[in-house]
Structure 1
Amino acid sequence: MKDIYLDCNATTSVLPAAVAAASAAMAHGYGNPSSTHATGLQAKAMMDGVRALARRLLGAGEGRLMFNSGATEGIQTAVLSALCALRERRDAGHRIGALLLYGATEHKAVPESLAHWNRLLGLNLTLRQLPVGTDGRHDLDVLGELIGDTAMLCTMAANNETGVISDLSAIAQLLQERGAHAYWMVDCVQALGKLQLNLAATRIDYAPFSGHKLYAPKGIGMLYVRAGAPFTPLIMGGGQETGLRSGTENMAGIAALGAVLAALDDGSTFRSHAELLSFRTRLVASLEAALPGIVFNMPFDRSLPTTVNFSVPGLSSKELLDLFDAAGVRVSSGSACSAAKALPSYVLAAMQVPAWRASSAIRLSFGPLTDEATILAACERIEHCGEALRGSCLLPSILSPLSPLAALRDGVTALSVDGHTTWLLTDAASASCVVIDPLAALVPRIAAFIGCQDYTVRAIVQTETSPQADAAHQMLAAALEITQLDEFDAHGTLAFGAGLRRLACGDASMYLLGQEFAFIGTLAPQAAIAALAEALRLDTVLCASRDDGSVCNTVRAAQQQAAASAAPQLDAAGLEAFLRAQPDAIVVDVREAYEHAACATRVFDGCTVHSVPLSRLAGEVAGWLREPQRPLVFVCRSGNRSARAAACLHRLGHKAAWQLNGGLAMATLATLPSLAFAA
């Protein structure tokens, strides 16, 4: 299954012509352009040719254009140049303004650079965000109020998360009308190849660019400096780039960037604006068909045609990322530089987007080299993702409750959020379920699960009472339209599955499902065992309402106070050999059901991969512990969930539990050519 890459705002693949140009530069044009012999002169001629082409395409006019390592260096250089000039002006007795003003949706490199150099240069100016409207564009009224006291203004041509295009003409007009003397930097990283640029005809003082956003390699970029704008080199040394940026030039990167610029110049390599718009229209239609209730977080008429930012009610960005990744569609949850921090998007927050949308947004971005076949394949997979979500009852569904994909099996499911866990017990034979310790944040999901499958709710119970727990209980009962529900008899027993018993422990309650599971709330395992000593077996699985990463426990492991330890690991290259040597091994994919449904079927040496989501792991451990010598290999997308699963089994006494290091993301078709998924 070929991956479909829709994260081009983070980085792009390298244009084949750029790869060839870089290779040729390394193999044949390897001269130092500062050398005066023929080889050096040839290298300098190539570099000068690329610079001349870039100047023409960007409309640089008499401005300076230097090669550098990319946008971050360009931003640093621009900020340093402007702030050094401001300090000189202030020292000479001139008024410079008190504000360093930057757009609220700027890349974090901008405010970080402003703060860094403001501190080091001792300027002590005030950093201030320029707010944006709900459409993501800068608030010109606020800019008009602040521009007279602004020393430097930093905005962007187009936003990397939403694709919103700034109204640079209106900003320039305002600067002119107010006679503002502020230095102006415009981040043009997302503009190259997507917007018409004629920099010398604008009021822009500095414009950084990054090659890897438009099919050049990482590590090569450009900085435009308007003629007459102050400049201070960030790097001093041998005086390369006519003294603007010292250090021997990255000739392979420059050659590759030149190939990209040549492709941009020829007008036939990259898709037209109209083609890109049509691609976005198709993707949006498939997203709307696949994800009912989808909300788009950018105005289509004021955004790049290559960027779509959206949120889906009831689905987190992680769930959507995992789902799309399983389907082989690579998207992101925002800026690649901040996605790993798992915080709500500050860009969307600045646009006054509701918190749930800012924290669950997905960015889908393609590039001007993307072809129609890729878009059509992406649309097909996106719609398949929607089917997987509906089949797993995470979206409104017309599937029968008895659909093999939709139906929950007997057992226990853990639903966790913010370190707390709700347990959902299901009994397929009676089409009924019990909810233990419902959480308010999970009420919509629990109600959707139950409603989708038309299960009868036998009980909603809590291990502890508190205002928050009571409120969540009432919310779930209201969502399920249940007015009164207490089917436990006088002995605290409910006829459900193997029998559900309620036992008091001080002010708290615990629940036993047969002798297989004990739901102990927030009690420590040792305290729960002491309170329920006669009702438990050594292999009883202890299920807590706190999610500390351990997944679950057993009485035996708790009595032995087994410490968590990392399970042994396999890398993707060694997995095939391991399974050949261990033909009785069980491979367990702990991704969620909707990820399995979205994933293409593969067969690996006849070995079946069992689907046991991490949320249902507690219900399976007892069976695996009965065969402690049989190898278990846990896999997931990145290795995080499989590491938790393997560590859990290892701690519980299954010393033959392994995990695939790095997850399926590190496995290639060469090392992991075939996997067959089974329920």
Structure 2
Amino acid sequence: MTNSTNLSLIYLDSNATTPVHPAAAQAVMSTMTQTFGNPSSSHITGIRAKDIMEKTRNAGKKLLGIDKGQLIFTSGATEGIQTAILSALVEAKKSLTPNKQYYLLYGATEHKAVPNSLHHWNQILGINAEIKAIPVDHQGKLDLNFIAEHAADSLMICTMAVNNETGVYQDLTALETTIRTTNPHVYWMVDCVQVLGKRNLNIENTSIDYAPFSGHKLYAPKGIGFVYVRSSAPFTPFIAGGGQESGQRSGTENLPGIASLKAIFDILNGDSAHQFSNHSQLQGYRLQIIKALKEAFGDIVLNHSLENTVPTTINFAIPGFSSKEIMDLFDAANIRVSSGSACSSKVTRSFVLDAMGLPAWQSESAIRMSFGPMFNQDDCDQACERIISAAKALKESCLVVSNEINETPLDGLVELRSGNNCCWVYADKQTKTAVVIDPVHELIQRIVNLVNCQGLTLKAVLDTHGHADHESSRNEIAKALGMSTATCHLGWPTDTDCIEMLGQTYSSITIGNHNLVKVPTAGHTADSVSYLLTQKFNGEYQSSMCHFAFCGDTILMGSLGRTNFETSSSAEMYASLRLLNQLVDEQSLICASHDYYNEFATTIALERGRNQLLNSVLSNSIDLDTFCEQKSVLDSHLNDEQGQEIQCGAYVEVDAALKIREYDKDSLARLLKDDQNIKLVDIREPHEYALQRSSNVELNVPMTRLVQFINERSKQKQDKYVLVCRSGSRSLVVAQALGRLGFENVGHLKGGYALGL
């Protein structure tokens, strides 16, 4: 299977790791095939190996200005951090005063390896010092006053030379003055992993006691690093054994890795035919990329200053986009970036940006682009060109403003998400009309872009109830689109039709060949309503005519909406559930306003099977008083901790994860060859699909259109589908959702495009 696009790789994640420099790779290969001796061996091959190791050590000392201090080879920065902390704390423990409060200080934006290691060795050694984070300001600079206040009673202070997420560098001279003025003898470690090739560092002119470095951050292989130890600093071997490295770090030395460091040291020292870009050139590249980002996305927000950061890092956010959306876009365009730190694959808020006091949306939307000193003008030009072309693909999803109407008309239901909040847009392509249900502030621009991109006329912007966790955005959307704001309850238009359903009259608006019917369903709140999208009917209404039921928080996936708000009523919810059961078919899709477990939609039949309380109401096996008692018990399970998101319903029962068929590249190829009925479905968004896809993919069903797809294929649940996405994560979630809703032959491609579809 091959991709329809064959874009060259644009790698902009060098703060996570770098490719191996050709000179370093050559040094590795030479030591593996020719000078492969054990440096501890006394024969000629061993002597030659030892010579490589010592020449590398001398080159490193030359680079860092080391005369008396030690340079010890390690497996990487984490080992260097352990070595430094263990050495300092073992020595500090010898002179502790009983019952005195001691501190271990570290920068609040420090790599997690540092505080985690401090906690570990503090506990293992029984020191029981208080571990405190040194605050930073909005530019990421450490609070010198805080250090001065606590340094006198501190056993160790850990800071960073350059931050891995933002590129912020610290003023080591000011830090040293503050630390040594207050406590000349406290042990000071500086994480120097991101400094080489970006900042000058004459380490022996400072009073830094320990400084760990990592090879793979600057074009050497993974698994090699080194740590500087000041001549007067205490030292305890972290790895004991055969006595290598003069007993300071046992274990047979990683000679190929050490030789690769020599190649990098020589370039930095000016002792090589190879050269790196200088500081001025790197600054120019960063400015050029920022200009391209602004051209591509319009309004971008830098999460750091350009004045106190190294020129190889850009940390930014794009209003209206999550970090995952931008990462998915760039991955499809074969651009590699990161969301904050790459030491955890989970995309989440950046603790670094949180510590700097940046707004939550910037922390949640942060993208890090980073390159190294090997980056050149040609690399920069290609990166900028690709960034701009990737952003143009966003018009496929109507995520950016365009002067042209999208050529693919929207027809049916679209789900937009902001966290656990679900917003629903239903559009009819024939009449070019649409409605929006349960909008949230974070999605305003996305909704406006979608409407304008598709050339739609909004008939209404509606809420299902007055939400407790956010303000309605309907008036802002109406204003942005030039709509009339003269509406009645929850945005419902004043000029509507009346429609009779099962002997009752309801208000209705027409959208193409469908009616959107407003049904009062109080309970979760006093003003709660449900909107039923039904096919047009002239005669008697039947519940099977209802395609989608937008029930707000009355019926949630795996739960019922809470009824312990001030305006809630369990008794009214009891009646509303029974009413919905009459108007909504058991297989009609229920579209809630919150989705806490990535289930997308549900049905009354599915909910009856796992929610005994709901089933009891609908089967008439429980009276009103008993329901209210049991509903109170259910609501007591809600988790409403201060500062946490308000939960609109307590989950009744967590389903056992469905077992989904998983395929790898080879097994999927065999399956497609043997079974012609398999449909390969790409579930990424249209802009990703436009940039990268397999020739074997028959359908693009974005997650935003999944509920519409489920409705359209409700009579074809026996069909065989294999779902694909970028990495296999989304395809697994969607496969489980489809399986839960009765699709019997669904599998997914583990690893997705990342592993070679």
TM score, norm. by length of structure 2: 0.81
- Which of 635-644 and 380-389 deviates more? 380-389
**Which of 483, 486, 503 pairs up with 1:484?**
486
More displaced, 580-589 or 120-129?
580-589
Q: Which residue of 2 aligns with 1:623?
A: 712
Does residue 565 (structure 1) correspond to residue 658 (structure 2)? The answer is yes
2:371 maps to which residue? 366
Contact 2:724 2:748 (C-alpha < 8 Å) held by counterparts: yes
The answer to whether structure 1 residue 404 and structure 2 residue 493 are counterparts is no
Equivalent position amino acid for 2:744 in 1: K
- The separation in 2 between residues aligned to 1:54 and 1:466, in whole angstroms, is 61
User: Does the 8 A contact of 2:395 with 2:406 survive in 1?
Assistant: no
Q: Is the 8 A contact 2:320 2:443 kept in 1?
A: no
Kindly provide the amino acid, as one letter, of the partner of residue 532 in structure 2: L
Q: How many residues align?
A: 657
CA contact (8 A) 1:158 1:166 kept: yes
1:173: which partner in 2?
177
CA distance in 1 between counterparts of 2:718 and 2:101 reads 73
Structure 1 CA distance for aligned equivalents of residues 177 and 466 of structure 2: 62
Provide the C-alpha distance between the structure 2 equivalents of 1:144 and 1:505, rounded to a whole number of angstroms. 61
Q: Distance in 1 between matches of 2:472 and 2:584?
A: 31
Paired residue secondary structure (2:94): helix
Preserved CA contact (<8 Å) 1:5 1:331: yes
Distance 1:141 1:575 in 2: 61
* Inter-CA distance 140–554: structure 2 relative to 1 (3 Å threshold): closer
- Label 1:182 to 1:468 Cα distance change in 2 as closer, same or farther (>3 A): closer
**Rounded Cα–Cα distance in structure 1 between residues aligned with 2:207 and 2:467:** 61
- Structure 2: how far apart are the matches of 1:138 and 1:504? 56
Q: CA deviation at 1:589?
A: 1.4
Aligned to 1:541: 589
CA offsets, 1:486-537, max 9 Å, x none?
2432332211132222334454433322233233333268999964556555
1:455 to 2:470 alignment: no
RMSD in angstroms over aligned alpha carbons?
Answer: 2.9
Q: Distance in 2 between matches of 1:124 and 1:559?
A: 53
1:494 alignment partner in structure 2: 509
Change (3 A) 1:501 1:175: closer
Q: How far apart are the structure 1 equivalents of 2:151 and 2:330?
A: 44
Compared with structure 1, are the counterparts of its residues 458 and 15 closer, same or farther at alpha carbon in structure 2 (3 Å cutoff)? Answer: same
After TM superposition, the structure 1 stretch with the greater mean CA deviation from structure 2, 566-575 or 471-480, is: 471-480
CA distance in 2, matches of 1:637, 1:549: 18
Q: Report the more deviating stretch, 310-319 or 481-490.
A: 481-490
| Structure 1 equivalent of residue 431 of structure 2 | 430
> Which deviations, in whole Å up to 9, do the C-alpha atoms of 1:244-295 show, x marking residues without a partner?
1112212222222223323333353322222222211211110111122211
C-alpha displacement of 1:296: 0.8
Equivalence map 1:278-297=2 (5 Å): 278-297=284-303
Q: 1:82 to 1:96 in 2, by over 3 A?
A: farther
Moved more, 541-550 or 76-85: 541-550
1:326 paired with 2:332, answer yes
1:310 to 310, 316, 319: 316
Give the match for residue 194 of structure 1: 198
Query: Structure 1 residues 167, 573: closer, same or farther in 2, change over 3 A?
Result: same
Aligned to 1:521: 552
**CA distance, structure 2, for counterparts of residue 467 and residue 501 of structure 1:** 24
Could you say if the C-alpha distance between residues 316 and 655 of structure 1 is closer, same or farther in structure 2, counting changes exceeding 3 Å? Answer: same
What residue identity is the alignment partner of 1:613?
P
Query: CA–CA distance in 2 between the matches of 1:96 and 1:270?
Result: 50
CA distance in 1, matches of 2:740, 2:303: 44
Match of 1:44 in 2: 50
Structure 2 CA distance for aligned equivalents of residues 532 and 456 of structure 1? 29
Q: Say if 1:394 and 1:603 are closer, same or farther in 2 by CA, change over 3 A.
A: closer
Who is 2:532 aligned against?
512
- 1:484 is aligned with what amino acid? A
User: For residues 619-658 of structure 1, what are the structure 2 equivalents within 5 Å?
Assistant: 619-658=708-747
The 3 A distance-change label for structure 1 pair 642 and 278 is same
Alignment correspondent of 1:301: 307
Q: 1:196/1:626 Cα in 2 relative to 1: closer, same or farther (>3 Å)?
A: same
Aligned to 1:100, the other structure's residue is in SS state strand
CA contact (8 A) 1:565 1:651 kept: yes
1:97 touches 1:148 (CA, 8 Å); kept in 2?
A: no
Residues 147 and 180 in structure 1, CA contact (< 8 A), matched pair in contact too: no
Residue number in structure 1 paired with 2:96: 90
2:242 corresponds, among 238, 243, 248, to 238
Q: CA–CA distance in 2 between the matches of 1:424 and 1:180? A: 64
CA distance in 1, matches of 2:242, 2:94: 25
1:676 is matched with which residue? none
Paired AA for residue 461 in structure 1: L
1:211 aligns with 2:300: no
Could you tell me how far apart the structure 1 residues matched to 2:349 and 2:586 are?
A: 43
Q: Which is worse superposed, 498-507 or 2-11?
A: 498-507
Shift, 1:203, TM fit: 1.5
SS of residue paired to 1:386: helix
Match of 1:345 in 2: 350
- 2:113 counterpart of 1:109: yes
CA distance 1:55–1:176, shift in 2 (3 Å): same
State the SS of the aligned residue for 2:175: helix
Structure 2 equivalent of residue 675 of structure 1: none
CA distance in 2, matches of 1:148, 1:506: 62
> SS in structure 2 opposite 1:128?
strand
Q: Distance in 2 between matches of 1:32 and 1:219?
A: 17
Contact kept in structure 1, 2:162 and 2:169, CA below 8 Å: yes
Contact 1:391 1:399 in 2 (8 A): no
CA contact (8 A) 1:438 1:469 kept: no
For residues 285-327 of structure 1, what are the alpha-carbon distances to aligned partners after superposition, in whole Å with 9 as ceiling and x for unaligned?
1011112221111221221111001111111111111111111
Contact 2:276/2:374 (8 A) holds in 1: yes
Distance 1:423 1:464 in 2: 14
Structure 2: how far apart are the matches of 1:334 and 1:503? 45
SS in 1 for 2:315: strand
Do 2:432 and 2:456's aligned partners in 1 also have CA atoms closer than 8 Å? Answer: yes
Question: Any gaps of 5 or more consecutive residues in structure 1?
Answer: 673-679
In structure 2, stretches of 5+ residues that fail to align are 1-6, 488-492, 499-505, 535-544, 561-575, 611-654
2:224 counterpart (220, 224, 234): 220
Look up the equivalent residue of 2:600 and give its one-letter code: V
Structure-2 separation of matches of 1:469 and 1:112: 36
Deviation at 1:434, TM superposition (A): 1.1
8 Å contact kept, 2:509–2:516: yes
Contact kept in structure 2, 1:89 and 1:96, CA below 8 Å: no
Moved more, 429-438 or 103-112: 429-438
Greater shift in the superposed pair: 536-545 or 240-249:
536-545
Q: CA deviation at 1:619?
A: 0.8
Distance change in 2, residues 1:293/1:99 (3 Å): same
Of 118, 121, 128, the residue aligned with 1:124 is 128
Q: What is the deviation of 1:460?
A: 2.9
321-330 or 454-463, which moves further after superposition? 454-463
Change (3 A) 1:391 1:133: same
Deviates more, 1:251-260 or 1:303-312: 251-260
**AA paired with 1:302?**
N
The alpha-carbon distance between structure 1 residues 473 and 182, as it changes in their structure 2 partners (threshold 3 A), is same
1:2, CA displacement in angstroms? 1.9
Q: 1:428, CA displacement in angstroms?
A: 2.4
Q: Report the equivalent of 1:276.
A: 282
Aligned-residue offset at 1:571? 1.2
Q: Secondary structure at the match of 1:324?
A: helix
Q: Hey, what's the Cα distance between the residues in 2 that align with 1:387 and 1:442? A: 20
In structure 2, relative to structure 1, the CA distance for the partners of 1:430 and 1:61 (3 Å cut) is: same
The Cα shift of 1:611 comes to 2.1
